[in-house]
Amino acid sequence: AIRHTTQTRFSVFSEKLADVSGAPVCAPQIAARLVAGESIESIPRLTLLQAPGVWTLWNQAAGRMDIPPQRELLFESLGDGLQAAIDGLGLIMAPLGLIEKHLKTGQLVMPFKEKVERVSAYRLLCPHGNEASPKVLRLRRWIKAVIRNSGSPTPATVRKA
């Protein structure tokens, strides 16, 4: 299985495939409220259940206090969380590599410059011993080639863009 996760310890074989950089994104109308001076805490936070600590990491990178939002909506699926952000329901910490088309079309915008590098990772998981099977080896080689050809992951840093 391929999983997007912040976890690093598993009871099965685990191999990191790619690091994921993240940043808060939202619909343009939400960004306009922030530009007009509304506090980030007053904007609903859209949080993915599989990455609960990413907002704390981003607040640290941005030099902000980690103040809880007034409202938080939890999502199991990134797709559902992104759709909520596109629909103007709040801010979501999104994996930048997966939302490029939404940023280019203007459906989503980055209201802040700060990003968090290596906020999570895509990992290959399988039962111990299966990682050496011919089918899994072929899958691992293919995935690594796709990642290599699409651009290499960024170094482990937190940076301000």
Mean pLDDT value across residues 109-122:
87
Residue 99 contacts residue 86 (beta carbons within 8 Å)? no
**Three-state secondary-structure class, residue 141:** helix
Residue 43 contacts residue 26 (beta carbons within 8 Å)? yes
Distance CA 81, CA 92 (A): 7
Q: Is residue 157 very low, low, confident or very high in pLDDT (cuts 50, 70, 90)?
A: very low
Distance CA 47, CA 67 (A): 14
Whether the pLDDT of residue 45 is over 50: the answer is yes
Average pLDDT in the chain? 87
- pLDDT tens column, 61-92: 889 888 889 999 999 998 999 999 999 999 99
- Cα–Cα distances (Å) from 96 to 12, 93, 109, 138, 154, in that order, read 28, 9, 11, 28, 12
Residue 16 contacts residue 123 (beta carbons within 8 Å)? yes
Whether the pLDDT of residue 128 is over 90: the answer is yes
Predicted TM-score (pTM) of the model is 0.72
Q: Is residue 15 very low, low, confident or very high in pLDDT (cuts 50, 70, 90)?
A: very high
Mean pLDDT value across residues 103-127:
90
The two beta strands, 13-25 and 2-5, are unpaired
What six digits make up the tokens of 22?
């993240």
Whether the pLDDT of residue 151 is over 70: the answer is no
Distance CA 96, CA 102 (A): 10
